Amino acid sequence: MKKEIIVNRTQEEIKVAVLEGGKLFDLFIERRESGKILNNIYKGTVQNIVPALGSVFVDIGFGRSGYLCVNDIIAQCEEKNVENMIKIGQDIMVQVYKESISTKGPKITMNISLPGRLLVYMPFGNRIGISKNIKDKQEHDRLRAIITELKKDIPGSIIVRTEAEEATENEVNNEIKYLVRLWLSIVGRFNDANSRSLIHKDLRLVFQTIRDHFTDDVMLMRIDSQKELKDVAEFVKIISPEFLDRIVLYNGKTPIFKACGIEEEIEMLRSNKTKLQSGGYIIIQEAESLCAIDVNSGKFTEEFSQEDTAVLTNLEAAQEIARQLRLRNIGGIIVIDFIDMKKSTNRQKVLKKLCNATKGDKAKIKIWPITRLGLIEMTRQRKRESLFSYHGDMCPTCHGLGLVLSRESIFINVCDEIKQLKLDGCMRIKIKLNSDVVEYFKERKTRLKELFNREFDIESSTEITREKYQIIFE
């Protein structure tokens, strides 16, 4: 499938979109004031040890303490007790492998990994790994032989990435030498740095996208900034000079994301409803650690049978769900309620479609068989906040519920409160309300007079939120 990378740079943020077959599949955003810390390496100070949880909290100078699990501690000896592995006040080198999400601080590890375009180098390991996406056994064995020879002189783990397929021995050698030099420079900076400080920053967003996504199947990379184009060209000249002619400058008058239809798609991501081409739709309800997805046939009705309608809608939904999970960066536990299907073969067909559709996702995904209730349960790794959380703040009125009190409920609450108050000597009562509720109350002024035998003035106030109100005696 033809791929394109679109880069939009402004003073406040940089956005990168990955299109597959003309459709948006990945969207990455980096803002000036909330830059990413994923994969950054810090000299942190151990702040607190919680043996009961097998965890350590480390101050990395970021505001929130990093969370270090016992399994991510590199100890000097084979020790099981977390208190003997590490000490409060100790300076340690840690890397962020999951950014802060909601109220949780970043998750960190002492098992440092340095990714390149072809390889990942892990200084504290001792193994060889080959990407499972390299299917050809002869190529698999060739790459393993190259890395085995390198491991004789280089300590640590070396993981071969998919992009290394058909790479020459010289290319692999050059990359591992670069990663080892990078590691030695990080160690030097750690020794000289102050506590709670950054000692290595991961690549900028655009460079990281080139490293991870700029492969043979990318036909074009369009950039709307001359300066960014120059920086990217210099970077690509070093790591993939054969792709230089695929980088072009966009100088159209219409903003690049709008010209490519991406801005419209981003706007649609704010909705929890996604339409399918057949007329069906999916509803995505995202919570902090769980996401529920419901598939509906909508206006789509297959002329043959209800089963055929369900199967065709579910197959289309499976493809779209995989795309939406990537776009919205939804992680954690995901439960999908497909339309009920009677035949077991049809259920397996939908499950297989979902598995195949998620193969292009770089996040780790695990999918379980369909349950007795017809649900599919899956998990998806998430290393940073979802797009929804990144783009918006929680509603101050509903606090994330998606619902507010109805006008009728507010009217009843006001009546109950007035009933409990002493009205001796009070002839008129003023009620101040949100403008969205005022008309409902004005239509019921007669009812209020019947209930309390008083005159009521109903006023609108822009300072009062929808569910709040003020009762004033006059």
**pLDDT digits 0-9 by tens, 71-105:** 888 765 566 677 778 899 999 999 998 888 777 88
Confidence of residue 409 (pLDDT cuts 50, 70, 90): very high
Dihedral (Cα; 391, 198, 63, 27), 10-degree rounding:
10
Nearest by Cα to 261 from 31, 3, 6: 6
Percent over 90 (pLDDT), the chain: 52
> For the chain, what is the mean pLDDT?
88
Confidence of residue 233 (pLDDT cuts 50, 70, 90): very high
HSE, side-chain direction, 13 A CA sphere, residue 57: 11
Model confidence, pTM: 0.75
Nearest by Cα to 199 from 112, 115, 120, 88: 112
H/E stretch holding 197:
strand 197-200
Nearest by Cα to 131 from 97, 85, 163, 83: 163
Residue the block writes with tokens 């690049």: 256
Q: State how far the Cα of 410 lies from the Cα of 466, in Å rounded to an integer.
A: 9
**pLDDT digits 0-9 by tens, 22-41:** 889 999 988 876 667 889 99
Q: State how far the Cα of 314 lies from the Cα of 346, in Å rounded to an integer.
A: 10
> Please, which residues have CB within 8 angstroms of residue 122's CB and are 6 or more apart in sequence?
111, 112, 113, 114, 156, 157, 158, 159
Residue the block writes with tokens 């399918």: 276
Tokens representing residue 404 in the block: 């507010």
Nearest by Cα to 221 from 2, 1, 12: 2
H/E stretch holding 127:
none
The whole-number average pLDDT for the span 120-133 is 91
The answer on pLDDT for 390 being more than 70 is no
Distance of CA 197 to the CA centre of its chain: 26
